[in-house]
Every structure is written in C-alpha cells, then in structure tokens.
C-alpha cells in the first residue's frame, strides 16, 4: 500500500512539474536599469529625422487606473532617450490631469498618452481620477460636489480635443487607444478605439509603403515581434488616417472573436491630420523586447516628429473623408 501511494504521489508531482514547465510565462524584464538604458541609448538613432522648427516640449502622461501595462515605464524611457540623443525634443513627465486644462496644455508641443488603460465601461481616465476611483487617484478632488467633478471630466476632454484641433500634437502608444473608449469624438481624433486582442503572440507587421519616410527604417521587410495583436472599432472603419503598418492576419492564431469581424485590413500604426494638429498612433509594443530592434526606435522617432509638426510627409487618408469603403 505504501509503495502504491508513493508511486501515485510521484506521478502527481511529475504531472504538476511538467504542467508548470509547459505553462506560458512572461519572462520579460520590465525594470528600468542603467544597463538597459545604456543598451537602448546605443541602439537609438543619433540624428533627428527632421530639424526641429523650434525647441520642442513633450508631455508624457503615463497614469494607469485600470489594466497595468508593465512596459509603461520603459516606453517612457524610450521616448526620453530618443529626444535626448537626437535633440528632437525635451520631456516633461506628469500624471496630473490638471496638465490637460487649457492654460496648462498649451505649454506643450505634443502630448503622449502612454498606455493609459482606464477602468469600467467608459474607460475614461479623467472620470476615473475625478469620480470612479477618486479615493485612489484623485483625493484632492474628493470634497468637490459631484456635479462639479462631472463638469471637469467633460472640460478636460474638450480641452484635449481642442488642443489637437488648434495645432497640438497627439501621440498614443499601445494601450492608450483604450482611453475614452466610448467617446466617438476621441475615436475620430485618434483614428479608432480599442476593440479586443487575441492572446499575446508573435506578430508580423508589414510596412504599407516601403518608401514612406516613416517606414523606410524597415527596409521593405516585415517587422516581427511578440505583441498583443490589437484590433480596433468605432472610427477605425472610416480609416481617416494614413496607415503605416499592417498586421498579417494569416499568421494570427485562431480566435473565435476574429470570425465575427468584418473583412478589412488591420493596421497597427498610422498618422493623421486633425484640424491644425497631427496625430500618431503606434500599437507596438506590449513587451519591452520590441525596443531592442532599432527599426522600431527609428519608427517611433519619425512618428513623434510628425506629431510635433517637424516632419512633413504624405499623410493622406487611405479612404477619402466622406467616401464609403
């Protein structure tokens, strides 16, 4: 009996061990270390793609109230390294929503929304701070009447949208497209809203135009990396943007949700004009290992310089505004 129990225990233990080994694990290192920064600095481009028309200042807003993209600190560091090494911009980092008030946001040439993933149905970062999660993220607003906080939520978004229309730059990186996910105005400004993504996996992105200034860095070759294959809705179907990278859907693992999607090209990065302003969306990447590829660093440099208004390039929408797909 004892031998039999010992054997069964051995089998259970081995089964558990094998399952543990086989289970997918996130082996990425998300810690910003001096060694990692030095490595990125070495890989980063040494020259700006366009001469800045003046000294540029970027606001990096990295507040996360919902899903925590662990890559966020490294993404912010990449932006800082690109600006410092090339002299293309300087950075101000702040997670204070007051920076989006008209009197404050005007100090910046462009705003970077860095992986901000709000909570709830609205997925509104301003609403989370002022109402939904006021105890955690907006204690200084807690004593304000609810009506006043509701009004401020609306005012902050209007301020951001007006800022872009009047010439400010907007850059949204990876999960930031989940911001204001129920607002058609923001979706139209950015070019789309987050829908869903299949499991993280190897993703193949194809330059839409190998000769475009922003995609020349890929040398006409696919950009292959591990990522969350983001898919979009709302304004996305209008494709009122210039697509830069297209996801090869034939290489995405089977997902029942994909079968329900309407047939159309699935882009993961684009640029667009919005009023007098410029917009750049870049889905790569959920994982910091993607930044080890110099092509992505060059691509981000060019996209941010476009949003700043320093890099002039073809940004005509893939589908003319007002036309039907």
Please report where in the chains the tokens 């290489």 appear, as a residue. Answer: 251
Give the global pTM: 0.90
d(CA 118, CA 125): 5
Return the number of other C-beta atoms located less than 10 Å from residue 206's C-beta: 17
d(CA 270, CA 130): 31
Can the peptide bond before residue 285 be classed as cis, meaning omega within 30 degrees of 0?
yes
Q: Class of the 30-308 domain?
A: alpha beta
Domain boundaries, the chain: 30-308
pLDDT tens sequence for the chain (325 residues) = 444 444 444 443 434 333 333 334 456 899 999 999 999 999 999 999 999 999 999 999 999 999 888 999 999 999 999 999 999 999 999 999 999 999 999 999 999 999 999 998 889 999 999 999 999 999 999 999 999 999 999 999 999 999 999 999 999 999 999 999 999 999 999 999 999 999 999 999 999 999 999 999 999 999 999 999 999 999 999 999 999 999 999 999 988 898 888 889 999 999 999 999 999 999 999 999 999 999 999 999 999 999 999 999 999 998 744 444 4
Please report where in the chains the tokens 């061990």 appear, as a residue. Answer: 17
Q: What Cα–Cα distance (Å) separates residue 125 from each residue in 98, 113, 117, 132, 148?
A: 12, 11, 7, 9, 17
């Amino acid at each position: 009996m004892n031998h039999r129990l010992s054997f069964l225990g051995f089998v259970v233990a081995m089964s558990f061990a094998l399952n543990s080994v086989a289970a997918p694990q996130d082996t990425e290192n998300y810690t910003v270390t001096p060694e990692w920064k030095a490595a990125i600095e070495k890989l980063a481009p040494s020259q700006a793609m366009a001469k800045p028309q003046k000294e540029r200042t970027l606001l990096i807003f990295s507040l996360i109230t919902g899903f925590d993209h662990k890559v966020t600190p490294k993404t912010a560091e990449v932006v800082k390294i690109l600006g410092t090494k090339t002299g293309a911009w300087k950075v101000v980092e702040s997670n204070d929503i007051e920076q989006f008030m008209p009197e404050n946001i005007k100090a910046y040439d462009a705003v970077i929304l860095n992986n901000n993933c709000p909570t709830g149905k609205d997925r509104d970062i301003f609403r989370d701070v002022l109402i939904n999660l006021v105890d955690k993220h907006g204690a200084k607003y807690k004593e304000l009447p609810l009506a006043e906080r509701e009004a401020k939520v609306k005012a902050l978004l209007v301020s951001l949208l007006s800022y872009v229309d009047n010439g400010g730059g907007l850059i949204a990186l990876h999960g930031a497209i989940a911001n204001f996910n129920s607002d058609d105005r923001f979706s139209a400004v950015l070019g789309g809203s987050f829908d869903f993504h299949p499991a993280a996996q190897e993703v193949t992105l194809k330059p839409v135009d190998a000769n475009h200034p922003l995609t020349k860095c890929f040398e006409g070759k696919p950009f292959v990396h591990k990522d969350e294959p983001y898919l979009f809705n709302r304004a996305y179907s209008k494709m009122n943007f210039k697509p830069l990278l297209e996801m090869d859907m034939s290489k995405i693992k089977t997902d029942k949700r994909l079968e329900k999607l309407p047939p159309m090209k699935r882009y993961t990065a684009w640029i667009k004009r919005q009023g007098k302003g410029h917009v750049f969306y870049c889905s790569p990447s959920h994982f910091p290992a993607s930044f080890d590829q110099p092509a992505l660093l060059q691509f981000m440099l060019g996209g941010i310089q476009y949003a700043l208004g320093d890099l002039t390039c073809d940004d005509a929408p893939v589908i003319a505004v007002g036309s039907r797909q």
